[in-house]
């Protein structure tokens, strides 16, 4: 019997295959009903195209499942490595077509914010409404950054900045949000350096116990929340800059 293509499946029926390769890490996760069944990670800046299918098969094998069990395929859409994002989305769309699953696109920055909220659930309470700054490496000597509230909802657009300029650029988003600057949570790439810059600028920070790069398990967790709310975002890339191409080949 073929699976329904409806995005309105109840959360108890969702088996999510999650893929993430926007940074220097390829990771795969399988989640059912909010419970992580298996995960695999391979730390490497390149080579994701070669490894993504074998690593997916290994993850399914560890969980004792097959592709037929998958109802949703969630993919990290960036921002980050152009090639990594392209490979992830191509694989996700291929799996969806082959196995009649529903695609779910997830921002890696929002996935990091969600992981921070899960690691420190008190940050969403009425007595503490500190914001979360998430960071990703552009591989151009700068960072992609975005501010989120305690529920991992964006308070401003993604912006690009050097470490030194972050304190100046986040001021407007924080002031407009009404959230306290005290205890600003920071997750993602170069977070220690960004925290030092903010502390120097008079902003107190905390570093939640979250990995520096988005992972497939983070992607799966956020996808599960979207599926439960029936508010699924499509598999579309978050390309914020043109791809970096190599030198033009000489003719002849």
* Cβ proximity of 31 and 216 under 8 Å: no
Per the model's pLDDT, the better-predicted residue between 71 and 178 turns out to be 71
Window from 77-81, 88-92, 149-153, 186-190 with minimum mean pLDDT: 149-153
∠ CA 228-231-235 to the nearest 5 degrees? Answer: 110
pLDDT tier at 178, thresholds 50, 70, 90: low
What pLDDT does 43 receive?
A: 87
Among the residue ranges 90-99, 127-136, 146-155, 188-197, the one predicted with the least confidence is 127-136
Q: What is the mean pLDDT of residues 58-65?
A: 97
Q: What's the CA gap between 211 and 209, in Å, rounded?
A: 7
How far is Cα 22 from Cα 48, in angstroms, rounded to an integer? 10
- pLDDT tens sequence across 109-135: 999 999 999 987 655 444 345 789 999
In the beta sheet, which residues pair with residue 136? 144
Q: 238-251 pLDDT, tens per residue?
A: 887 655 544 444 44
Q: b/e map of 51-89 (b: 16 or more CB within 10 Å)?
A: bbeebbeebbeebebeeebbbbbbbbbbbbbbbbbbbbb
Q: What is the mean pLDDT of residues 140-167?
A: 93
Domains of the chain and any CATH numbers: 11-108+213-229 (3.30.420.40), 109-206 (3.30.420)
Q: How many CB atoms lie within 10 A of CB 129?
A: 16
Q: Which pLDDT score is estimated for 223?
A: 97
Give the C-alpha separation, 233 to 52, whole Å: 22
H helical segments located in 12-150: 48-63, 82-99, 108-119
pTM given for the model = 0.86
Q: Which of 132-146, 176-190, 222-236 has the lowest mean pLDDT?
A: 176-190
SS3 of 183, please?
A: coil
Tokens read off for 143: 């960072």
48 and 33 in contact (C-beta within 8 Å)?
A: no
Residue closest to 131 by CA, chosen among 155, 114, 167: 155
Higher per-residue pLDDT: 18 or 118? 18
**Closest Cα partner for 88 from 43, 142, 36, 28?**
28
Least confident of 40-54, 95-109, 133-147, 208-222: 40-54
């Amino acid at each position: 019997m073929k699976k329904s293509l409806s995005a309105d499946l109840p959360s108890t029926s969702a088996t999510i295959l999650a893929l993430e390769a926007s940074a220097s890490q390829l990771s795969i996760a399988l989640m059912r009903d909010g419970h992580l069944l298996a995960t695999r990670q391979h730390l490497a800046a390149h080579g994701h195209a070669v490894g993504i299918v074998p690593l997916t098969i290994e993850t399914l094998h560890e969980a004792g499942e097959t592709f037929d069990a998958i109802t949703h395929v969630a993919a990290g859409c960036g921002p980050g490595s152009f090639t990594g994002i392209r490979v992830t989305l191509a694989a996700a769309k291929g799996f969806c077509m082959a196995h009649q699953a529903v695609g779910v696109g997830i921002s890696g920055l929002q996935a990091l914010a969600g992981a921070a909220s899960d690691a420190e659930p008190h940050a969403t309470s009425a007595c503490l409404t500190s914001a979360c700054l998430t960071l990703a490496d552009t591989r151009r000597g700068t960072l992609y950054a975005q501010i989120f509230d305690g529920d991992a909802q964006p308070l401003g657009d993604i912006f690009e900045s050097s470490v030194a300029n972050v304190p100046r650029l986040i001021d407007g988003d924080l002031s407009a949000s009404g959230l306290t600057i005290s205890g600003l949570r920071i997750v993602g790439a170069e977070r220690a350096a960004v925290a030092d810059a903010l502390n120097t600028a008079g902003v107190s920070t905390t570093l939640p116990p979250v990995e520096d790069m988005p992972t497939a398990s983070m992607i799966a967790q956020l996808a599960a929340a979207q599926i439960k709310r029936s508010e699924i975002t499509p598999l579309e890339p978050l390309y914020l800059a043109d791809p970096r191409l190599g030198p033009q080949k000489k003719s002849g």
